[in-house]
A and B are shown apart, each in its own frame.
Chain A
């Protein structure tokens, strides 16, 4: 019985190769096929380096496993009966390496990677509408109406919706999903407010700052020079900004974060 299983056992070297190949294929299947967002080649190289290093470490954890891993290679080089195969391998390996180097040396035409911070740390205070706001203590002046005067609150949400549809939907979309009619022409793409990773993670004061000062108001780590977010203090009043913030949370069903209980 044990003999049979032994006969079916995959050599350790092949196992290692299969694991590495499998992980690469999985990356490709998930990001290229499923999500349609290929990982840039340079980043993929970095990931695969860690994968190979990790697999090597696991497979050489004990002396026994190390021997099993390099065994077939040693046998190939040392056993005279495998000379013919060895010669083939010895010709193919440098050949492949040469092809790799040749391709690597071709000038790349892949766009440079532009990393940016999506939610940069806000400044502690900021000047908007000619006034100075302390972002740590700033609150939406209408938020309390949600409990105190629901009817007026609904009305303000409605006004916020009108502000949104007249100004924001072109990029952020009717559904607030960041897929407005012009979203595809922008880089970085407009934020998806339905996503759990955007406004649901932020305080209303952060939104107020981001809306009022727009792309040019971003700190450098967030690449203000490519953001197409307008500087809304030029087009909207302070009230309108707070109202549109009410609408964003109301439509998506998210709750703003607060300093209170976290």
Chain B
């Protein structure tokens, strides 16, 4: 993941800088040979068809219509090549054909956040050229000349002023924020569908690692200019649109969008430990308490539940950020995750945006019932018969019922026992703002019955896992996202012991040295 992100952040115009000489050469060729003969990449459609059958047909379908056997289990669905709609392209929205280099780039690098991998390691440049020629035949574009690239004008460098201007254009008349949200998190106010009728979600602009075509300002400028074909993302260079922006304005917006990246929500795979911070006073109970800033955030990937019946393939939640704080008596978790929809069953507006059946949003903290001895942990999906788990749940509430916490013990997916959260002092609060849930759940570290509840001991590595439900995405029961086991560590303050031992070491070695030196001198004299 990090390598991918680095690559994306580092991708400065590489897609374009090598495209331009190519295009220039092709135009030169057009001038020389006369415009009657179109110019194409040096590819062989027949070879491309063979490669397509082996590498691409399983998702994109034998006919290239995106109807491969896994189509309904992929989100976003595989591209339908017969529609000639290429989302990530550098040619103007009115052009029929994309530039070949646009297709080459998508095949070579893949699309982050989708099932489309980069094929650059498995396919040669020639293979990819052949594929591009073949893919264009699927849309009947084999006779079309590559479209003209958009006008980039003079790129406006990133600066505070440019970002500020971009922000104004973004929010002015809700131009972009209508779909992308006030904070750019793509929190929905409208139900969006693409031309094929699939539900689409506005991009969460604070998570650049999910951008299909990188968050380099030049790439963002390109998306704003071309729009995204087949979706409700319009071109802001369309002369017919009253929302049309000048080249300079589009650069400002691009710089603003680029500035929205929330790097603290980047998943760092090497970070597997939540370090709970010890405080002297009370443990914070409000999600926006500034005390939470003392604790280091750990962000984990949420993956769909693909293991047990009913399996779930099309999640919307993708990461969860966790902090923990404790004192002598209590511990509390702060959970934060981006969810485009606040799901309130019974609420008309919420139900209109939601996919049926709407249910509450929910988050679960899973802990082993007893601290594991050795390496053996409970099965990461709801524990097992020999190793039960505690499940702390927070439910977002309906129009009829307030948000609440619940407590269960589980010995496997089907074997759960509902318990009274009040009996162990389990409490929770949540708040939803601009596409983000923040939930605090906590209880006393020690409970009355240590055989039923995990006891939070300082210094021990405690397995912990999380699950989340987006109630507007038909997520109920076993349809949800989850993390694997991570660790929670209540890191005790070190105390004076290190000082004591370090001091003793110093004195001991010094004494040894003096003794050695004295002996040596004596030997030297004699």
On whether the beta carbons of B498 and A106 are closer than 8 Å, the reply is: yes
On whether the beta carbons of B68 and A94 are closer than 8 Å, the reply is: no
Q: Which residue of B lies closest to A106 (CB)?
A: B494
A45 to chain B, nearest CB (A): 18
On whether the beta carbons of A174 and B304 are closer than 8 Å, the reply is: no
Interface assignment of B513: CB less than 8 Å from any CB of chain A: yes
Complex interface: chain A residues within 8 A of B301 (CB): 182, 184-185
Question: With A162-B69, A184-B301, A186-B484 in contact, is A107–B492 under 8 Å at CB?
Answer: yes
Complex interface: chain A residues within 8 A of B70 (CB): 165-166, 169
Q: Which residue of B lies closest to A80 (CB)?
A: B524
CA distance A76 to B456 in the complex (A): 54
Interface assignment of B119: CB less than 8 Å from any CB of chain A: yes
Interface assignment of A90: CB less than 8 Å from any CB of chain B: yes
On whether the beta carbons of B498 and A182 are closer than 8 Å, the reply is: no
Interface assignment of A95: CB less than 8 Å from any CB of chain B: yes
On whether the beta carbons of A36 and B3 are closer than 8 Å, the reply is: yes
On whether the beta carbons of A225 and B505 are closer than 8 Å, the reply is: no
CA distance A99 to B497 in the complex (A): 13
Complex interface: chain B residues within 8 A of A115 (CB): 375
Interface assignment of B308: CB less than 8 Å from any CB of chain A: yes
Interface assignment of B136: CB less than 8 Å from any CB of chain A: no
Binary B-proximity of A89-114 (CB < 8 A = 1, otherwise 0)? 01101110111111101110111101
On whether the beta carbons of A94 and B306 are closer than 8 Å, the reply is: no
For chain B, which range describes its interface: under 10, 10 to 19, 20 to 34, or 35 or more residues? 35 or more
CA distance A103 to B113 in the complex (A): 41
Interface assignment of B461: CB less than 8 Å from any CB of chain A: yes
Q: Which residue of B lies closest to A95 (CB)?
A: B506
On whether the beta carbons of A225 and B376 are closer than 8 Å, the reply is: yes
Binary A-proximity of B234-278 (CB < 8 A = 1, otherwise 0)? 000000000000000000000000000000000101101101000
Chain A residues numbered 101-144 whose CB sits less than 8 Å from any CB in chain B: 101-103, 105-107, 109-112, 114-115
Binary B-proximity of A159-171 (CB < 8 A = 1, otherwise 0)? 0011011100111
Q: Which residue of B lies closest to A184 (CB)?
A: B1
Interface assignment of A6: CB less than 8 Å from any CB of chain B: no
Complex interface: chain B residues within 8 A of A86 (CB): 517
On whether the beta carbons of A166 and B506 are closer than 8 Å, the reply is: no
CA distance A165 to B114 in the complex (A): 14
Interface assignment of B499: CB less than 8 Å from any CB of chain A: yes
Question: With A90-B513, A101-B502, A179-B117 in contact, is A165–B58 under 8 Å at CB?
Answer: yes
On whether the beta carbons of A224 and B379 are closer than 8 Å, the reply is: yes
Chain A residues numbered 52-108 whose CB sits less than 8 Å from any CB in chain B: 74, 77-80, 86, 90-91, 93-95, 97-103, 105-107
B257 to chain A, nearest CB (A): 24
A98 to chain B, nearest CB (A): 4
Interface assignment of A203: CB less than 8 Å from any CB of chain B: no
CA distance A38 to B311 in the complex (A): 35
Binary B-proximity of A231-247 (CB < 8 A = 1, otherwise 0)? 00011000000000000
On whether the beta carbons of B501 and A112 are closer than 8 Å, the reply is: no
The one of B122, B307, B503 that contacts A98, using a Cβ cutoff of 8 Å:
B503
The one of B307, B379, B516 that contacts A77, using a Cβ cutoff of 8 Å:
B516
Complex interface: chain A residues within 8 A of B1 (CB): 184
The one of A98, A171, A177, A225 that contacts B306, using a Cβ cutoff of 8 Å:
A171
CA distance A100 to B58 in the complex (A): 57
Interface assignment of B432: CB less than 8 Å from any CB of chain A: no
Binary B-proximity of A14-36 (CB < 8 A = 1, otherwise 0)? 00000000000000000000001
Chain A interface helix/strand/loop/mixed: helix
Complex interface: chain A residues within 8 A of B459 (CB): 107
On whether the beta carbons of A234 and B498 are closer than 8 Å, the reply is: no
A211 to chain B, nearest CB (A): 14
Interface assignment of B29: CB less than 8 Å from any CB of chain A: no
CA distance A170 to B305 in the complex (A): 11
On whether the beta carbons of A105 and B502 are closer than 8 Å, the reply is: yes
Interface assignment of B523: CB less than 8 Å from any CB of chain A: yes
Interface assignment of A256: CB less than 8 Å from any CB of chain B: no
On whether the beta carbons of B269 and A110 are closer than 8 Å, the reply is: no
On whether the beta carbons of B303 and A111 are closer than 8 Å, the reply is: no
Complex interface: chain A residues within 8 A of B116 (CB): 174
CA distance A122 to B261 in the complex (A): 48
CA distance A180 to B1 in the complex (A): 12
On whether the beta carbons of B484 and A228 are closer than 8 Å, the reply is: yes
Chain B residues numbered 487-526 whose CB sits less than 8 Å from any CB in chain A: 487, 489, 491-492, 494, 497-499, 501-503, 505-510, 513-514, 516-517, 520-521, 523-524
Complex interface: chain B residues within 8 A of A93 (CB): 509, 513
Complex interface: chain B residues within 8 A of A165 (CB): 58-59, 68-70
Complex interface: chain A residues within 8 A of B521 (CB): 78, 80
Complex interface: chain B residues within 8 A of A80 (CB): 521, 524
Complex interface: chain A residues within 8 A of B483 (CB): 185
Binary A-proximity of B450-486 (CB < 8 A = 1, otherwise 0)? 0000000001010000000000000000000001110
21 pairs of residues in contact across A and B, judged by CB atoms under 8 Å: A77-B520, A80-B524, A97-B506, A97-B509, A101-B501, A101-B505, A105-B494, A109-B275, A112-B487, A165-B58, A166-B69, A174-B116, A179-B117, A182-B306, A185-B300, A185-B301, A185-B303, A185-B483, A185-B484, A225-B380, A226-B485
In the A-B complex, the 6 residue pairs with the closest CB atoms: A185-B301, A105-B498, A94-B509, A102-B502, A185-B303, A98-B506
Q: Given A161-B58, A179-B117, A184-B1, 8 more contacts at CB 8 Å?
A: A38-B270, A77-B520, A105-B502, A106-B494, A109-B275, A111-B461, A215-B307, A230-B306
